[in-house]
Amino acid sequence: MSDPTDTREVILEARELTREFDGVKALDRFSFKLHRGEVLGLLGANGAGKTTAMNCLLGLTLPTSGELNAFGMPLQANRIKILQRANFSSAYTALPGNLLVWQNLLVFAHIYGVPNPKKKIAELMELLEISHLNKSVTGQLSAGESTRVNLVKAFLNDPELLMLDEPTASLDPDIADKVRKVVRKVQRERNVAILYTSHNMRDIEEVCDRVIFLHKGKIVCEGTPSDIVAQSSSDNLEDVFIKIARDGELLDEPKKASAV
């Protein structure tokens, strides 16, 4: 699973993470490491355990058992310190719709203690090509605009760890492509560790260095997208996704592609 000779800094680590709901295991001894500067995709069909994993990693749900560390610190005991160095964006959350975009972003800039917040917001809005939305009402933005505003919020504190939950959901191909490029650019420039979930396999192939496929809360396979495709009898990552969603395994025996 992890290479003992790997000397890269571990930003986020889960060890034997299990989360049960009414006796059903949504996550079953889930372990992984996310390194600095790496983009790790968390994949799986609906109900595979991705959201539960993400919620545990964000400290929103407590695991039934197992350990979670970020920046070398136990997550629960150091939640505030860790969240100060991390950020999150999801297609399923929103910033208050009745505030203007700049008002929402300014509030979060102050929460994260961003120096010179107005300049930072302007830079990020320019990066995401939404400077013209500064004075727009947040609730009146299109899905694409809203996603990019959420990403500005997620980049505000120059996070070392970024969790992106389906950032391209409901976006048209053009905007989705722009979002992927910006995420990749920010990740490369700032050496950010990113945990990325998506149902869009194009996203995963373009953005992720490594992926983990989950099925019924368990890791089915893990590796680079190309290694996983090569290891399976499928033609592409989407076929792998469908095979795992239906059969629960990549091959006859769950195997992992070569770890990075």
Partner 1 sequence: MNFRIISALVMRYLFLYARSPMRLVELAFWPVVDLVVWGNVTVFIQKNTNPEFGSYVLFFLGGMILWDIMFRAQQGVAISFLEDVWTRNLLNIFVAPVRSSEYISATFIVGMLRILITAVVLSFISWFGYAFNVFQLSWWLIPFFLNLMLFGWSLGMISTALILRWGLAAESLAWAIPFFFQPVVAVFYRVEDMPAWSRPIAWCFPPTYIFEGMRDVMKSGTMNWDYLGYAAGLNVLYLALAGWLFVWVLNLTRKRGLLTKFATQ
**Where do contacts with partner 1 occur on this chain (CB under 8 A)?**
19, 21, 51-52, 55, 58-62, 80-81, 83-84, 87-88, 90, 92-100, 103-104, 106-108, 110-113, 153
Closest separation between CB of residue 32 and partner 1, Å? Answer: 20
C-beta closer to partner 1: residue 85 or 202: 85
Closest separation between CB of residue 225 and partner 1, Å? Answer: 27
Judge whether 40 and 210 are in contact, CB under 8 Å.
yes
Helices 117-127 and 101-111: crossing angle in degrees, nearest 10, is: 120
d(CA 164, CA 41): 10
Closest separation between CB of residue 107 and partner 1, Å? Answer: 4
C-beta closer to partner 1: residue 4 or 115: 115
What single-letter amino acid sits at 231?
Q
Closest separation between CB of residue 54 and partner 1, Å? Answer: 9
Closest separation between CB of residue 208 and partner 1, Å? Answer: 21
CA distances to 102, 126, 155, 157, 180 from 132, rounded to whole Å, are: 11, 9, 18, 22, 21
C-beta closer to partner 1: residue 2 or 61: 61
* Residue 4 CB contacts under 8 Å (≥ 6 apart), including other chains: none
C-beta closer to partner 1: residue 157 or 232: 157
Written as six digits, the tokens of 238 are 């989407």
* Residue 59 CB contacts under 8 Å (≥ 6 apart), including other chains: 75, 76, 79, 82, 83
What single-letter amino acid sits at 13?
E
C-beta closer to partner 1: residue 138 or 200: 138
C-beta closer to partner 1: residue 81 or 246: 81
In sequence order, what DSSP letters do the residues of 58-115 get, joined into one string? TTSS--SEEEEEETTEETGGGHHHHHHTEEEEETT----TTSBHHHHHHHHHHHTT-S
C-beta closer to partner 1: residue 141 or 240: 141
Closest separation between CB of residue 103 and partner 1, Å? Answer: 4
DSSP secondary-structure letter at 42?
A: E
Closest separation between CB of residue 132 and partner 1, Å? Answer: 20
What single-letter amino acid sits at 156?
L
